[in-house]
Structure 1
């Protein structure tokens, strides 16, 4: 007689109850998944502030961004990683190495799958990598972007992800855009953490240096509406940050930020700059607003575009560009 298939451990609002203990819990959570599954958007939504850039282009995230969720009873450190993929360049290999290194450093790994895309070979490959690299780490399934599909489609995706991960893994449907089920996901993650102290002061949202965040905001602005090949070829370096001298009580503080956008070919340089510099000006306007919010002061943003030929494949250039 065939054994019945265990029902998936799906967690909806109101389903998850804590232990009632007042013990403070803390730990690290890693979001993994194919590129463009909503990991960075989810990180930002949980933290409540933009700390990771988002784009509809694959491989947008290039660093392990740490976001901090503070509660009265817990602190979660969320590690947003680049999308795990089969690399075609030295940069791709190094990004994969970043992800794999993270597996061994966290308490829970969340496998993210969007509700509006069928689970495929890429998802199964990622789960196999997670199981191989971190066989004893707790895995939670997260179905993202549930606001895009019908409830029936969400239910089918939850079942499919549960079957992929196994009956011992909880699966949670969420929408970072609407905020639906985010509190449930946090409850689940907190319940899986061991008692421990806060790692960061209350109110801190990320441990990323301001220069990294500024470079990422510029890259995000530059990625909007560009051709498919450009996102992988674009890197941004902050060269100087110069606070201007005291301008008197009537003038708000001002900071000069000088940055360089690196591409691999002259044709890509033209794409970034645009006709008569119009596109680069657009990038500067968009990025400056984000940087001013980050720094809490007015910003003069000076952008230049340079060619670093085939930097994704050159170890020396990768090092200079922070990879």
Structure 2
């Protein structure tokens, strides 16, 4: 490694649905964070690793910051705020099509407590007129002293290379934390569970709120190199179980079909995916069940 190699940790923060996971996937070039048009999709800190010949940026995609309504919500907000103190740079992602409101105010107040440089990343520039973009930038600049302001379209990839270049300027000389071909620090089982959860959110839309979790029971290689995966989709109510299974099991079958395509892309091999649905009443307020599903309050 050359002696000018730079590295650092960068947090992606913002309101739920600002486009943080979309931006992370765009930068990394593969889907490691699930995307949904429902807010609060990301529950854990997802680490994505971007490496070039002279730079390594470790991105932390935090849960959207919001007013929590249950223990899971508390965990998500604590996780996001904790990230402020662990990184070299913060990207505050804003959906330019949404008006400035109490949520943005809350985040900016939190940011005043840190000395870490903050970039304002105005997302979804492909959806507004340039004049509107300038007005929104001025609105935010009056409220906080940002190190840089970078407009992007996370979905289209517009200006993402410019953003990466600006981040590189702020990083200091440092080690290469991960191998050059590694794109995340999460185990495959975690990403597989997230891909299944994404398909449930995608297909059930407003019928099933964010009261689902996915637990991987088994994941092992079988004959002819195919990977066998057994997973349980956990819901809070019997009515939600019925929705996810669907008439004659059609919904569960479609969830499995779509998830299998993404999982095969991730693993690079054939997959046999078996899905089950289980009711755990009010699991989001049960600390024992939260721990079981990977939301451990003792870690933060």
Kept in 2: contact 1:22–1:73 (CA 8 A): no
The equivalent residue for 2:49 is 68
Q: Cα distance, 1:165 vs. partner?
A: 2.1
Q: Cα distance, 1:72 vs. partner?
A: 1.8
The equivalent residue for 1:266 is 238
Structure 1, unpaired ranges of 5+: 1-20, 248-252
The equivalent residue for 1:285 is 257
The equivalent residue for 2:286 is 314
Kept in 2: contact 1:113–1:119 (CA 8 A): no
2:141 to 162, 170, 173: 162
The equivalent residue for 1:216 is 194
Q: Cα distance, 1:162 vs. partner?
A: 2.1
The equivalent residue for 2:37 is 56
Deviating above 4 A after TM superposition, structure 1's stretches of 4 or more consecutive aligned residues are: none
The equivalent residue for 1:200 is 178
2:154 to 176, 183, 199: 176
Q: Cα distance, 1:22 vs. partner?
A: 7.8
How many angstroms apart in 2 are the aligned matches of 1:42 and 1:136?
24
Q: Cα distance, 1:229 vs. partner?
A: 6.6
* Cα-to-partner distance string for 1:32-61 (whole Å, 9 max, x where unaligned): 111000000000101111110000001100
How many angstroms apart in 2 are the aligned matches of 1:37 and 1:229?
22
Cα RMSD for the two superposed structures: 1.4
Q: TM-score, normalised by structure 1?
A: 0.88
Deviates more, 1:87-96 or 1:168-177: 168-177
Kept in 1: contact 2:215–2:233 (CA 8 A): yes
Alignment of 1:81-230 (within 5 A): 81-132=62-113, 135-166=114-145, 168-228=146-206, 230=208
Q: TM-score, normalised by structure 2?
A: 0.95
Q: Cα distance, 1:220 vs. partner?
A: 0.2
